[in-house]
Amino acid sequence: MALDGSIDIINHPPGSRIMGNTRARSKGCITCVKRRVKCDQGRPTCLRCAKAKFSCQGYKDIVFIDAKQQVLQRLERKAETASKKTTLSNTTGNSNILTVSPPLKKTTGYEYSLSSPYCQVSYLWSPSSSPEMQSDQAISYLLANLDGPMKSICGSLVVPSYRSDALESTIRKECFMALATTLYGLGHQQEAHIHDGRRRYVSALNTVKSTVNSSGATSIIDTLSSVVALCLHEVIAPTDSNEHSWLRHIDGVEQLFSFQGPALRATNPIFRALLEHTRPMMIVAALYARRPSLMACPEWSASVSLTKESTNSPSSALAYLWDSLAQISALYQERDHLGSVPLSEVLPITMSDGNEQRQSWSKAHQTLLQKVTNFRDGMHLSRDLWKLSDPESEFLTTPSTAIPSAYPYPCTTVIHFTSLDFANVFTLYNALIILTNQLIVSIHRLTGTHNDDVSATVSALQEITDATMGIIQSVDYHLPFTESSTTVISGSSGPRNFHLLLPLRVAHRVLLQSECPHDVPKRLWLEDVQASIKSRAGPWMGNDRLFGVNK
């Protein structure tokens, strides 16, 4: 295989012999092969060429030798030998053709048939598949099934660099090979490759652990990329014995980012791409664990990398929403802290200390409620500004018949958008509105029922209902972007769209907890749509644990 990805076919002249150690299979660079010297195989330029001041012409990593002519000639010679040893006893017949069957008939490979005046032979030839070729196939499949930041990351990190430390390159390649092998097995439904990928995953995990715990200095990019590869492996092929293993990997990625600091994102594009690719998973993991997210810190904000020209664009709106989602986990943690205090401890026991403790708890409750309410009002204001900047970005229309569901569509209209970016902003905004209003309702219920709490609770519940309906109505627009599971595993459209899948999970959770009979058809329809998406999205976007924000 040439450096540009093409395959070199070397045809030997008829009659020439093919030895096992033919020059065409040399792993050295083209320049060293021509000079007939031993190549050290350094990438991208070998050291021998660099020291001799020669121009290194690169490598031919895989060379397929077309031995078809030699195979046919060998078979013809065997057929002629067999025909000479055969005595034809039927002298009156007109046919003098003898059929010779090969002693071993294979069922795979390429079939070549040979006809001669003396014999007819059907031969099946299977080209050898070395481990190196299998690894190249898996890596090629991984690169073909990634897009966005991860595609550029894999393209730059999988290929070894002569400036990288040998140990770091080995660790990085080992982690990505585990991910590529497992993904290849899942995409082709081959249990042997899946098993091999899991074996590689365990080995790579142990290697990364020993490297991170060692005192030697390693590149932060190599370490981060290795852990991200292991994290993606755990997400696409979750381990049943430990359902929280993906959380540990994501926590490890977040700790590595925190240790390095945000300064590198301005100068290193790979570091920035790794950060933006893992940001959604880190935020969801923090929300799942009910702990503050590193992404909520101002220096890690998604809006930092935006330019002034993109202030009113959908990209700036998405950055604002991801920053808001990162802050919600800290608000939920405060609510959990208030709810962990037994009610008997805050009820007035005596007129002296009891009322003081009750007042302190009530003040903390009101402070948190006001903080969450202001947070929600800020999102309402941002939503109004987005609509004013482009009032035609979304519109109502009639339902499409392309929605793959066995249940009837529960609404009379659907919402369509002028672009996928606007659709992503709409669905993620509604998911945040649901999570924020659920938090408001839970805070109100901590102190019992009061007249002002009842009106605020009813208003919050109505916003939850409206946001859930908005997510359901936007599904019709997202589904035309659905692609088969063998096309991509990560992308900005279709069932792999994080901005669609997370809101779907949040909306389904609302319908699952609802006691209203009118919500049952909506839940059944949404569950059927989710099952259809899961069957086409591949394994990792169907991971219930990743999107099961169920607390």
pLDDT at 199 over 70: yes
Would you state the pLDDT for residue 459? 92
Query: Could you tell me if 437 and 317 lie in one domain?
Result: yes
What's the mean pLDDT in 437-449? 83
Residues 329 and 466 in one domain: yes
From 245, 276, 300, give the residue that closes a domain: 300
Asked whether residue 134 is assigned to any structural domain, the reply reads no
User: Could you tell me how far CA 534 lies from the centroid of its own chain?
Assistant: 14
Place of tokens 């390429």: 110
CA pair distance 458, 110, nearest whole angstrom: 70
pLDDT of residue 439: 93
What are the tens digits of pLDDT across the range 159-195? 544 444 445 567 778 888 888 888 888 778 788 888 8
Report for 372-381, 391-400, 406-415, 488-497: range of highest mean pLDDT: 372-381
**What is the mean predicted confidence (pLDDT) over 108-120?**
30
Greatest mean pLDDT range, 5-14, 128-137, 473-482: 473-482
| Shared-domain flag, residues 289 and 377 | no
Same domain, 325 and 397: yes
Are both 457 and 485 inside the same structural domain?
yes
Answer yes or no: is pLDDT of 126 > 90. Answer: no
Does residue 502 sit in the same domain as residue 354? yes
Q: How far is CA 208 from CA 128, 205, 227, 250, 274, in A?
A: 33, 5, 8, 14, 18
Same domain for 380 and 273? no
Residue 89: inside a domain, yes or no? Answer: no
How confident is the model over 384-408, as a mean pLDDT? Answer: 82
Q: Say how many domains are in the chain.
A: 3
CB atoms within 10 A of CB 267: 8
Q: Is residue 466 part of a domain?
A: yes
Same domain, 289 and 325: no
pLDDT at 354 over 70: no
What does the pLDDT read at residue 265?
84
Same domain, residue pair 156 and 197:
yes
Give me the mean pLDDT over the 294-311 stretch: 78
Residue 104 lies in a domain: no
In a domain, 439, yes or no: yes
What is the rounded average pLDDT of the residues 501-517?
A: 91
**Cα dist from 254 to 168, 248, 284, 323, 445, whole Å:** 20, 10, 12, 15, 34
Query: Angle CA(162)–CA(164)–CA(167) in degrees, nearest 5?
Result: 115
Instruction: Indicate the residue among 65, 80, 95 that finishes a domain.
Output: 65
Inside any domain, residue 486? yes
For residue 336, pLDDT over 70 is answered with: yes
- For residue 191, what pLDDT is reported? 84
**What's the rounded Cα separation, in Å, for the pair 434 and 239?**
31
Give me the residue label for tokens 């007249």: 451
Torsion of CA 211, 212, 216, 217, to 10 degrees: 120
- In the DSSP assignment, the letter for residue 262 is G
In angstroms, the Cα distances linking 280 to 52, 324, 386, 548 are: 49, 12, 22, 14
110-115 and 120-125 as β-strands: parallel, antiparallel, unpaired? antiparallel
Higher pLDDT, 491 or 330: 330
| CA 499 – CA 491 distance, rounded (Å) | 10
Query: Model's pTM, two decimal places?
Result: 0.68
Q: What is the mean pLDDT of residues 430-454?
A: 83
- Its domain, for residue 213, covers 147-300
pLDDT at 115 over 50: no
The pLDDT, as a whole number, for residue 41 is 80
Q: Using 50, 70 and 90 to split pLDDT, how confident is the model at 481?
A: low
The pLDDT of residue 517 is 92
Tell whether 271 is covered by a domain.
yes
Task: Specify the pLDDT at position 171.
Answer: 79
Residues 261 and 369 in one domain: no
For residue 179, what are its two tokens? 């991910």
276 and 365 in a common domain: no
Residue 221 has pLDDT above 90, yes or no: no
Q: Are residues 363 and 493 in the same domain?
A: yes
- Domain final residue pick, 248, 273, 300: 300
pLDDT band at 239 (very low <50, low <70, confident <90, very high): low
Is 116 within a domain?
Answer: no
